[in-house]
């Protein structure tokens, strides 16, 4: 963690690692004067012999020293109770002409490598390794996605896409389903069984209970793939929402086997959102397309 990011965290004990770096040798210097920016190339030798360049050179050194002192202040005020500074300085053949920031830690403990004497260890008793019983060969990991799972997911998405194309059911339902299949199926990297998909949807939508979800009603507003945001700002997309004069119904289409308990929390959340948005009694339905079954949820 950096020194600045630790501000306000109130650590009881802080250990700082500080090490000496070589001063940057960038010879480019900038001076703002009379509304203009002047750029200089200044070496140490030039600064010592030029009345004009010397102050610019020394000014940046002073500014750097101030910045270093600010950092030192920051690192020294992060501990509530105990502060330890581990200072790593480069060995110097002779004293520096100018004092360095870390020279303030001159009165320090000089760490020395501890003498290491290898201990004599007696050989341990032989360890008997018992072979584990053989495991049956595992042909595949059941937790990993398989082709079948990808196919089932894609088929479910196709069914959802086909259903979202109908606000109301047309009189010629089967041709409309075939037309939707021809339009949407090529967008998936699988070859779907037309008879299964279209036939399953046809049987489901001919069910009076399911057909009622696609029927027109006085004052009814039908929302398809409607997006709502809950109090926390999370976005939810609902397959179908029927807004009537005295109630609101949210429908979620499912393919595959029935598992109402699995979707209970999802539908309860939908009900909460819908009730708050419309301030009306809300109902939730799980429509299992493959099973030709509609279940009240939430």
pLDDT at 292: 94
Select from 105, 130, 157 the last residue of a domain. 105
Q: Which residues of 86-119 are buried (b: 16+ CB within 10 A; e: fewer)?
A: ebeeeeeeeeeeeeeebeeeeeeeeeeeeeeeee
Together in a domain, 171 and 291: yes
Domain shared by 192 and 246, yes or no: yes
- How far is 2 from 214, CA to CA, in rounded Å? 60
Residues 175 and 83 in one domain: no
Tokens of 18: 């500080």
- Residue 112 inside a domain? The answer is no
The neighbour count for residue 140, using CB atoms within 10 Å, is 7
CA–chain centroid gap for 38, Å, is 46
Q: How many residues does the chain have?
A: 298
- Per-residue tokens: 294: 């509609």
Is 212 among the domain residues?
yes
**Of 44, 75, 105, at which residue does a domain stop?**
105
Helices (H), ranges, 207-281: 208-211, 264-278
For the chain, the distance separating the N- and C-terminal CA atoms, rounded to the nearest angstrom, is 46
Shared domain for 243 and 152, answered yes or no, is yes
DSSP type of residue 34: T
Domain boundary among 73, 89, 105: 105
HEC secondary structure over 131-174: CCCCCCCCCCCCCCCCHHHHHHHHHHHHHHHHHCCCCCCCCCHH
- pLDDT above 70 coverage of the chain, percent: 78
Indicate which CATH number applies to the domain containing 151. Answer: 3.90.320.10
Q: What is the pLDDT of residues 225-253, one digit of tens each?
A: 999 988 888 888 999 999 999 999 999 99
Q: Are residues 47 and 168 in the same domain?
A: no
pLDDT in tens, 101-126: 777 666 655 555 556 666 776 766 66
Answer whether residue 138 is part of any domain: no
Tell me which residue range forms the domain holding 85: 4-105
134 part of a folded domain = no
**Res. 137: pLDDT tops 60:** no
Report d(CA 270, CA 252) in Å as an integer: 10
User: Do residues 195 and 285 both lie within one domain?
Assistant: yes
| 196, 281: one domain | yes
Strand ordering across the sheet containing 282-288: 221-229, 235-243, 248-254, 282-288, 293-297
Domain total for the chain?
Answer: 2
- Quote the pLDDT of residue 113: 56
In a domain, 249, yes or no: yes
Strands (E), the chain: 11-19, 28-33, 36-41, 79-88, 221-229, 235-243, 248-254, 282-288, 293-297
272 and 174 fall within a common domain: yes
In a domain, 171, yes or no: yes
Predicted TM-score of the model (pTM): 0.51
169 shares its domain with 86:
no
Hey, which of 63-77, 138-152, 191-205 has the most confident mean pLDDT? 191-205
Q: What is the pLDDT averaged over residues 78-86?
A: 79
Residues 162 and 259 reside in one and the same domain = yes
The tens digit of pLDDT for each residue in 56-71 reads 888 887 887 778 777 7
Which long-range contacts (C-beta less than 8 Å, at least 24 apart) are formed by 61-65? 65/101
Residues 6+ apart with CB under 8 A from 38: 30, 31, 32
Asked if 293 and 152 sit in the same domain, the reply is: yes
Q: In terms of domains, do 175 and 278 share one?
A: yes
Confidence label for 138 from pLDDT (cuts 50, 70 and 90): very low
Q: Is residue 279 part of a domain?
A: yes
Residue 140 inside a domain? The answer is: no
């Amino acid at each position: 963690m950096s020194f600045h990011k630790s501000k306000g965290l109130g650590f009881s004990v802080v250990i700082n690692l500080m090490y000496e770096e070589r001063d940057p040798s960038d010879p480019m210097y900038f001076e703002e004067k009379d509304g203009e920016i002047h750029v200089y190339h200044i070496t140490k030798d030039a600064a010592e012999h030029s009345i004009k360049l010397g102050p610019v050179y020394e000014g940046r050194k002073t500014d750097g020293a101030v910045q270093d002192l600010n950092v030192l202040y920051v690192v020294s005020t992060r501990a509530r109770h105990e502060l330890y500074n581990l200072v790593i300085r480069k060995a110097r053949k002779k004293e520096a002409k100018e004092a360095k920031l870390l020279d303030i830690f001159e009165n320090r403990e000089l760490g020395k490598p501890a003498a290491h004497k290898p201990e004599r260890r007696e050989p341990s008793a032989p360890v008997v390794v018992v072979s584990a019983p053989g495991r049956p060969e595992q042909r595949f990991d059941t937790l990993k996605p398989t082709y079948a799972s990808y196919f089932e997911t894609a088929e479910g998405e196709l069914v959802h896409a086909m259903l979202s194309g109908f606000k109301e059911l047309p009189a010629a339902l089967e041709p409309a389903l075939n037309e939707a299949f021809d339009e949407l199926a090529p967008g998936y990297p699988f070859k779907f069984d037309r008879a299964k998909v279209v036939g399953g949807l046809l049987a489901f939508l001919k069910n009076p209970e399911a057909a009622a979800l696609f029927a027109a009603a006085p004052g009814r507003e039908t929302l398809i793939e409607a997006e709502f945001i809950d109090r926390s700002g999370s976005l939810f997309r609902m397959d179908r929402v029927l807004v009537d004069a005295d109630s609101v119904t949210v429908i979620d289409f499912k393919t595959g086997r029935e598992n109402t308990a699995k979707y209970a929390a999802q539908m309860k959340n939908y009900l909460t959102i819908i009730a708050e948005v419309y301030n009306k009694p809300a109902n939730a339905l799980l429509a299992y397309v493959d099973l030709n079954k509609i279940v009240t949820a939430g």
